[in-house]
Amino acid sequence: MTVTLVGASLPASHEFTVAELVAWGSERLRGCEGANPVTDARTLMEWVCGVDSFVQVPAVIGAHAAERYRSAVARRRHHEPLQHIVGRMWFRFLTLESRPGVFITRPETEMVAQYAIDEAAAIATAIASGEAPARTFAPSAPPGLEVGLCPQGPIVVDLCTGSGAIALALATEVPTSCVYAVELMDEAHALAQANIERIAPGRVHLVKGDATTALPECDGQVDVVVSNPPYVPLADVTQPEALADPPEALYGGGEDGMVIPRGIIHRAAHLLRPSTVDTPGGLLVMEHAEKQSAQLREVALAAGFHDIRTAEDLAGAERMLLARAPFAAPSNPPLAVTTMASATHALEENT
């Protein structure tokens, strides 16, 4: 039986085939900017049925569930993010909780995580084979990172962790790593804590703080600093769904959006294990906008980094900065505006 789902509530006596409903949902979502019609229609049906996979969806559902599905499709057509409707989002091999007010993970960030994972995994292999010494923290290390309370593998710091996606990918894909995540915003910090407790309890050490000044006690000891910081220039957001993300997670400060990314580079220069003549230092991996690549390479060079390059995402866009730690602690003074707090204040004054 074919049923039109536009309009009033449906009779309670009716039953509806899932195949018909998903076909209808796909058609309704066709042409909706940012939507993948078939995938979104199926995911919304999974949510309505309370299952994790489409193979678990029953062949027939009742009118109440069909009405809930109709409402969900309508919300998606009005550009409400799929992740906010279903309360979950996907990153590499992980299913994360998603909440309004926290940045939604993007596919391009999975490649940022990949570079960090590759570096951490290579160090873990070297440590396991005896080619590199086990990592230990100095006595002044923050709580949870003292010797004996974390694996003696690579030390990784995720700055601007948001939902905890990158940190959790590292913790689960490089199990011997000691992962530290920093987040300033209250809602994002709470969500990261929830995701960590559900996916990898005790494996990621989460700290609430400013990513551009965090962890001075870890200076010179970190193998990988990875970050997907706010970097969008104020005038650059055009997609309706991007506006669902909090401004603090999008805009990087200043007309070029690079106040916070510059601060991340400066902070990473201190956090990372320094390079020596015989041993490469720690690695910075940072996401950025395509048009920022050349300028951020210059910033990294001025901060003392070497082996600086830009890597592409899966679409071929210049999406991330990779740079080796300086040979010595940079002597440059701090940037004029480097903190997340000051950039956030400036953003509020301009919006």
Reported as a pLDDT band with limits 50, 70 and 90, residue 8 is very low
Instruction: Dump pLDDT digits (tens) for 171-214.
Output: 999 999 999 999 999 999 999 999 999 999 989 999 999 999 99
Reported as a pLDDT band with limits 50, 70 and 90, residue 232 is confident
| Residue 148 pLDDT greater than 50, yes or no | no
pLDDT of residue 243: 63
pLDDT of residue 245: 66
pLDDT of residue 9: 45
Residues in Cβ contact with 39 at an 8 Å cutoff, skipping those fewer than 6 apart: none
| Residue 146 pLDDT greater than 80, yes or no | no
Q: Is 62 within 8 Å of 15 (Cβ atoms)?
A: yes
CA distances from 165 to 9, 95, 140, 171, 181 (A): 38, 9, 27, 10, 10
Angle between helices 63-77 and 18-29 (to 10 degrees): 10
| Residue 348 pLDDT greater than 60, yes or no | no
- Higher per-residue confidence, 10 vs 130: 130
pLDDT of residue 247: 66
Mean pLDDT of the chain: 84
pLDDT of residue 334: 47
Rounded CA-CA distance 265/258 in Å is 10
Q: Is 311 within 8 Å of 286 (Cβ atoms)?
A: no
Mean pLDDT to the nearest integer, 260-281: 94
Instruction: Dump pLDDT digits (tens) for 93-138.
Output: 999 999 998 988 988 899 999 999 999 999 999 999 888 888 876 5
CA-CA-CA-CA torsion sign (268, 273, 276, 281): negative
Instruction: Dump pLDDT digits (tens) for 55-97.
Output: 888 899 888 899 999 999 999 998 889 999 999 999 999 999 9
| Residue 31 pLDDT greater than 90, yes or no | no
Q: Give the whole-number percent of the chain exceeding pLDDT 70.
A: 80
| Residue 1 pLDDT greater than 90, yes or no | no
Tokens of 233: 């220039």
User: Which of helix, strand or coil describes residue 39?
Assistant: helix
Reported as a pLDDT band with limits 50, 70 and 90, residue 256 is confident
DSSP code of residue 217? G
Strand 60-62 relative to strand 15-17, pairing: antiparallel
Phi then psi for residue 168, to 5 deg, are -70, -35
| Residue 344 pLDDT greater than 90, yes or no | no
The backbone region for 133, taken as left when phi is positive above 0, alpha when psi lies in -120 to 50, beta otherwise, is: beta
| Residue 234 pLDDT greater than 80, yes or no | no
Which residue stretches of 13-131 are H helix? 18-29, 37-49, 63-77, 82-86, 109-129
Tokens of 82: 């799929």
Sheet holding 306-312, edge to edge: 204-208, 178-183, 155-159, 224-227, 283-287, 318-324, 306-312
